Amino acid sequence: MSDSKGDSNLPKRGLQNRHVQLIAIGGTIGTGLFMGAGNSIHYAGPSILLVYLVIGMFMFVVMRAIGELLYADPSQHTFITFITKFLGNRAGFFARWSYWLTVVFMGMAELTAVAKYIQFWLPSLPSWLIQIVMLILLTCVNLIAVALYGETEFWFAMIKIVAILALIVTGIIMAVTGFKTPVGTVAFSNVWNHFEFFPNGVGNFINAFQMVMFAFVGMEFIGMTTAETENPRSVLPKAINQIPWRILFFYLGALFIIMTIYPWQKIPANQSPFVMVFELAGVKWAAALINFVVLTSAASALNSVLFSASRNFYALSFQSKAKFLQPFRKISKTQLPINAVLLTSVMVAFSALISVIPSITNAFSFVTSASTDLFLMIYVLILMAYMKYRKSDSYMPDGFLVIAPKTLVPLAILFFSFVFVTLFFNPESRLPAIGATIWMVVFGYISMRQPKQALNK
């Protein structure tokens, strides 16, 4: 099965290499790093560097698998179509609907976060109003041209990158000069002083994996972004192969510097370490600075959601005979899936309604967490599809090949399965994990009632 429908009907490929490179860097840096790093360090101490390294390695395996599939068939605008092609229509039905809904819920969560960050400066503005205005702005960005989306993401990514570079440079200068703070002298040795591999027990070390895992969720958007360039086969390898270096520098580098400036034993779990570090460096407006960074990070994630989910729904409209899906095949004069973008935006807009009904806020948090857990299932499915691809006639032996696939791909499947199982042992993640499991069982049953063969277009 292919989604190739003729160049005139495909979304326009309007991204340049500079867009993709910055988006790829920004896509590896989640809001979780800025806001959640203190919590993860609190759980695992210096061993958090190992946690990020392991998860980064397996996410790289996923990205290489997606990259190899898209390299072999650049006509695709979403990696989800490969699940249908290589695992069958039933698995594809589960994946494409689950992924679209999951990404929409992710967008709702990011829109809620955007309102919260803006209220830092404008506390009297109602959350629902902020959400509607921001959603309209980003929907317009996604409706005008792919290049405008790329330009917006370019600058969102630049802000995150500059913030982390500033942190790393500041930390190095403070360590080299022996800068003294209220919590001690800044020194690289703070990272390994009184080192304990499991400072808070093995259980908390394992829990750190699930916390950090969700800081990486959404990295696969990079694959869909490169699919929107004029020459995906040229851009894909470059964008994906640089991911390990970005993880090493931006994640591990930032965490190492944070623990250099602020001894890891004293880092509180409920505060952003970025705010604390800049305050120790004498930046009085550190809280406002980091609030601006996480605001742009959340807006960037929301922008990517509108982009990614609309492409997935556009592809989905060609994989079903349902009449209600036919209008979503429409392409605008600027070669964008206009109706798919508008539907995604309307779905995300429900978060504004939820924000004014307190009684369902907890339910929304539960659904959002449960849907985020589904990313683990999607990653497993794409890796299984990749293994089938390697045995198929579509396999391109001289393509952009995964390194040691016979070893690393099965290991990655086991790892993501392990992370999902650990969700049941943490009281905070147990209910969402049960929700994700119920979703998998119920939607899996619905998927099994679908035709074995996908609709031929």
6 located within any domain: no
48 located within any domain: yes
13 located within any domain: no
DSSP string, 349-377: THHHHHHT-GGGHHHHHHHHHHHHHHHHH
> Are the C-beta atoms of 212 and 199 separated by less than 8 Å?
no
In sequence order, the 6+-apart residues with CB closer than 8 A to the CB of 430 are: 423, 424
218 located within any domain: yes
The residue type of 426 is N
3 located within any domain: no
The residue type of 300 is S
pLDDT digit string (tens) for 211-224? 888 878 878 877 76
Burial level of 106, CB count in 10 A (0-12/13-18/19+)? buried
Buried b (16+ CB within 10 A) or exposed e, 318-338: bbbeeeebeebbebeeebbbb
Q: In terms of residues, how long is the chain?
A: 457
Number of domains in the chain: 1
**What is the full per-residue pLDDT of the chain (457 aa) written as tens digits?**
344 443 445 555 656 666 666 666 666 676 677 877 888 888 899 999 999 999 999 999 999 999 999 999 988 767 888 999 999 989 999 998 999 888 888 888 888 888 888 998 999 999 899 999 999 999 998 888 777 888 888 888 889 889 889 999 999 999 999 999 988 899 999 999 888 888 888 988 998 898 888 878 878 877 767 766 777 788 888 888 888 888 888 889 999 999 999 889 888 877 788 888 888 888 888 889 888 988 888 888 888 888 888 888 888 888 777 788 888 888 877 778 889 999 999 999 988 888 777 666 666 677 778 878 889 999 999 999 999 999 999 999 999 999 999 999 999 999 999 999 999 988 888 888 998 999 999 999 999 988 877 654 4
In sequence order, the 6+-apart residues with CB closer than 8 A to the CB of 35 are: 272, 294
**Between helices 31-44 and 286-317, what is the axis angle to 10°?**
110
What mean pLDDT value characterizes the chain?
85
pTM for the model stands at 0.85
Report how far residue 192's alpha carbon sits from residue 174's, in angstroms, rounded to the nearest whole number.
Answer: 17
Structure tokens that stand for 253 in this block: 């580098």
User: What backbone torsions phi and psi does residue 404 show, to the nearest 5 degrees?
Assistant: 45, 55
The CATH number of whichever domain residue 283 belongs to comes to: 1.20.1740.10
Report how far residue 296's alpha carbon sits from residue 401's, in angstroms, rounded to the nearest whole number.
Answer: 34
103 located within any domain: yes
Determine the structural domain holding residue 374 and report its residue range: 22-448
Contacts of 354-362 spanning 24+ positions with Cβ under 8 A: 354/108, 354/112, 355/112, 355/115, 355/127, 355/128, 355/131, 356/126, 356/127, 356/128
Report how far residue 445's alpha carbon sits from residue 189's, in angstroms, rounded to the nearest whole number.
Answer: 54
pLDDT digit string (tens) for 112-143? 888 888 998 999 999 899 999 999 999 998 88
